[in-house]
């Protein structure tokens, strides 16, 4: 039991000092363009899949359409994305990146790749892969399994 408490204290400390900082570390490249990391990911999807529909993004991300719509609003306001009406069904709209959106997405992607490359240089390719494998396993066995249990209640 004492060992469990020690591990809990260590987990809390890691969360407060490391994992919260990881969020800032990941989101910094997109923040320079007044975008959250989630908004960047949506822009990235639109740039690489011109004509994608809002409902497709929501399905891929396993979130509601309204959640994507809130993120999309910023992309539309900044003129990074436009909506085009479907010529067959004018109620449906596809999403297309503007030239400014494409430029911004490319710059953010370059910054993210450079940041990740620097991280691997410091941490090492092997240890980086091990860390990502371990986090992926933790996500599947603990986080996702817990989410599925909560949803089935």
Q: What is the chain's pLDDT, residue by residue, as a tens digit (153 residues)?
A: 667 888 889 888 888 887 777 777 888 999 989 999 999 999 999 999 999 999 999 999 989 999 999 999 999 999 999 999 877 777 788 999 999 999 999 999 999 999 999 989 998 999 999 988 998 998 888 888 776 666 666
Q: 76 lies in which domain range?
A: 2-152
If one counts the domains in the chain, the total is: 1
All residues at 6 or more sequence positions from 132 whose CB lies less than 8 Å from its CB, including other chains: none
| CB burial string 75-90: b at 16+ within 10 A, e below | beebebbeeeeeeeee
Q: What is the pLDDT of residue 23?
A: 77
Q: Residue 47: which CATH number?
A: 1.10.10.10
């Amino acid at each position: 039991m004492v060992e469990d408490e020690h591990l809990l204290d260590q987990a809390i400390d890691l969360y407060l000092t490391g994992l919260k900082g990881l969020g800032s570390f990941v989101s910094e490249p997109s923040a320079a363009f007044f975008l959250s990391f989630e908004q960047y990911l949506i822009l990235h999807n639109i740039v690489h899949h011109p004509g994608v529909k809002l409902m497709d993004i929501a399905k891929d991300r396993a979130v509601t359409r309204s959640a994507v719509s809130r993120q999309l609003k910023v992309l539309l306001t900044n003129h990074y994305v436009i909506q085009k009406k479907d010529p067959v069904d004018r109620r449906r709209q596809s999403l297309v990146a503007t030239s400014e959106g494409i430029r911004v997405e490319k710059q953010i992607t370059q910054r993210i790749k450079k940041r990740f490359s620097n991280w691997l240089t410091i941490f090492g390719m092997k240890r980086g892969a091990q860390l990502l494998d371990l986090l992926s396993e933790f996500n599947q066995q603990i986080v996702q399994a817990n989410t599925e249990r909560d949803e089935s209640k």
